[in-house]
Amino acid sequence: MSKLENKVAIITGGGSGIGRAMSLLFAAEGATVHILDLNVQGAQDVVTEISAGGGKGFVHSCNVSLQEEVLTIVDRIGKIDILVNNAGIAHIGKLENCTTEDFERIFNVNVKGAYNALFAVIPKMKASGGGAILNLASIAAWVGISDRFAYSMSKGAIFAMSLSVARDYMADGIRCNSISPARVHTPFVDGFISKNYPGQEAEIFDKLSKSQPIGRMAQPEEIAKLALFLCSDDAGFITGNDYPIDGGFIKLNN
């Protein structure tokens, strides 16, 4: 029996990076995966790959910062066993480099987007007897990271929201955890390096990789494997926790 046989999962931002890896793995483990993403083409590519492997996946064009869109899609899906709040955007800059527009853009996607999905899904889970929720936090919720003011704010909120949901809905059979990755090698990282350090791509990639004690970035598939465990029945006794997956960054980076 696959770990997620007959489960229905929503993965926000499932069309690329970590979300893509989770979508593919969850489908391979038997889940019907619903991807909510503004990047419809990327999400469709993932679903095509899921279908080629014999799995089930669906694409929903969705701006998670708009509650009505999220509610409409969740109502259309029906019963939901798993929610992964993965959709998120980044901002580089200190407080002084963070405009009101920057702050609100990060908040609306990273914090309000997760809230909207939780708001829509939790009543469905309560009605069906429970479920598993996983929120993507970050090591930025644990330690100070230079030039990440708004992003750190948003991931600290995710960390705290996860604890609150775990406490409030434990009696309803709903588990809620978060994970805190360090730097993960995704297309976003490659794009950031090429945009900001043209001609120095290899050097900067190596520098960023070695900023983690383990000496490399994580692969999206490694994050997905932890996500799979926490969303499966194997983790039935686990709720209200955050799991750093960081190559030793938090405890050993000194």
Alpha carbon distance, N-terminus to C-terminus of the chain: 44
Which of the residues 151, 169, 197, 243 is marked catalytic? 151
Could you confirm whether 151 is annotated as catalytic?
Answer: yes
**Which residue, 238, 246, 207, 20, is CA-closest to 134?**
238
Which strand ranges, in their side-by-side order, compose the sheet holding 82-85?
Answer: 56-61, 32-37, 8-12, 82-85, 131-136, 174-181, 242-245
Cα separation, 97 vs 103, whole angstroms: 10
Cα separation, 139 vs 249, whole angstroms: 8
Exposed/middle/buried for 252, CB within 10 Å: 0-12, 13-18, 19+? exposed
In this structure, the number of other CB atoms found within 10 A of the CB of residue 2 comes to: 14
- Give backbone dihedrals phi and psi of 183, rounded to 5 degrees, phi first: -70, 130
Cα separation, 148 vs 184, whole angstroms: 16
Looking at the annotation, which residues are catalytic?
151
